[in-house]
Amino acid sequence: MVKTDLRDLIPTRIALEKNSKLEELYIGENSFTHQFSCLKRNNCTLTRTLFYREYMISHLVSLKILDNQEITESERLQATELVRLKFITCDSWREKYQVNQIHKDILNLEINNTMKCRTNINKTTPKTIFKNYTEYQDILNENPRVNTLEKIVYPRQLEYNPSIPNLIVVGAMNGRVHVYDENKDEIIYDNIVSNPSMILGLSWIKNYPCFLAGSENGSINLFNLSKTKNPKNQILSFDPFYKLSSLHTNCQSDTMVVSGSCDFVSIYDINSCTLLRKLEKAHTKKINVVKYASYDPYGFVTSSFDGTVKRWDTRCLNSGPTLTSKESFGEIIMSVFSPDDRSILVSGCDNQVYQLDSRTGTLNIKFEIHRSNQEFNFSRSYYTADGNYCVIGSCDENCVRFYSTSDGKFLRDVSLFDQNKFCGDSDGVLSLRTHPSNNFDVTIIKTKLPNLYSVKF
């Protein structure tokens, strides 16, 4: 029985060589032909991927009939060109990292080292020259490990520690907070506040063993992991924020911005646990998520159901936003800065995901993703560690997708189905976070299942 997604089974032309002589393939409601007989169409992420027909035609070079439709020579040529433009394949990576150019870089490096001159190739070594090429080739060809982290039950929100990436703080439905160590596979910290409710916002205090947690009932608390003797001494409280939905600390960890089911945001001083400023009428509808910039301690972005994204500067809030998106994107679920702060990744409903220029607000990329036409198919997206790619997940789809943030091309997707029962009910992505240092590693909270799930390549 096939236990992986078809897209995982045949992600590249290299992996398809064994099937290159297949002449007819039918992706129907009941079965596939040949070795794909166990997969159902409604559970196959490939068939819900835009241009899937073109993808199959270009990779199965001997295929003559697909879904009972004959493949013409002109269609094959058009499919090959479209896949080149829309998908990242091993061929496109070979084009990007030409072997002749790699040899030239190595030769220049060796000459500079011999002459004891300072090289001008960004301190590149022969080992790192091939790093990107080999890393992304593995991503294209290898199936990741999808593991269930069973020690944490009914999670609702999570956040990686930016300074110690193996630590994840997890907020649960019942108001408990856990710190999970990926390396040890154990919970190293567990606590709960009085009058607990669902945890919706989490943020680490950089370079300190502390994190902030915001609950649905509006309570905001700072947890100190270093004070382990008395759990009550580990908690400091802030003024509550009514109907809280999101919070985030700046890169200096001295201020925090909070949003909720209202049209204003509040800014707090972390050192004194006091409210600094309330920004009234920041939007016309609910502000779902707020995020500080990666390096700018004063800049943050707000995402609202009024369809706009706004960037603010805490030094000049009275002057209004420093940037407002030039287009309306419908209800916006979240937005986040790229690691270099040059771009903003915007996620809306039903796989509507965009990338904006953070300086001008202009639309750079609209990611082409299949629409499910489900009203509550909320999408969420984050950049990978280096910012070259993003990972996208949605509430009604049991997969995550990787796209290039430089040109919007589709890299691959990863199915999150239970390997023991491939054809089952779909469990979508409720929340996700990318690893701070390992590209393409993702931790996910699913909509219907009570555990965390990690995706590692």
What is the model's pTM? Answer: 0.81
23 with 121, same domain?
Answer: no
Please report the pLDDT score of residue 44 as a whole number: 52
Structural domain count of the chain:
3
- Show the domain range for 53: 6-87
The DSSP letter of residue 65 is E
Residue 446 domain-assigned (yes or no): yes
- Are 319 and 431 in the same domain? yes
**Model confidence pLDDT, tens digit, residues 56-115:** 888 788 888 887 888 999 999 998 888 888 887 766 655 554 444 444 454 455 445 544
Q: Is residue 445 part of a domain?
A: yes
Q: Is residue 112 a part of any domain in this protein?
A: yes
What pLDDT shows up at residue 5? Answer: 38
* pLDDT, tens digit (0-9, with 9 covering 90-100), for 288-329: 999 999 999 999 999 999 999 999 999 999 999 999 997 778
> Nearest-5° angle of CA 385, CA 139, CA 146?
85
pLDDT of 223 reads: 93
257 and 388 in a common domain: yes
Mark whether 172 and 250 lie in a shared domain: yes
Tell me whether residue 1 is in a domain: no
Which domain-ending residue is among 59, 87, 115?
Answer: 87
Which residues of the chain have a pLDDT value below 70? 1-49, 90-138, 227-233, 417-426
Residue 84: its pLDDT value, please? 85
Q: What is the pLDDT of residue 416?
A: 82
Same domain, 120 and 164: no
* pLDDT the model gives residue 183: 92
pLDDT at 422: 41
- Co-location of 376 and 315 in the same domain: yes
Nearest of 377, 374, 408 to residue 390 by alpha carbon: 408
Nearest CA-CA partner of 89 in 76, 79, 104: 79
Is 93 within a domain?
no
- pLDDT at 241 (0 to 100): 95
- Residue 226 burial class via C-beta count within 10 angstroms: exposed 0-12, middle 13-18, buried 19 and up: exposed
| Predicted pLDDT at 54 | 87
pLDDT at 41: 38
The Cα–Cα gap between 156 and 193 comes to 16
382 and 302 belong to one structural domain: yes
Pairing of the two strands 65-66 and 24-25? parallel
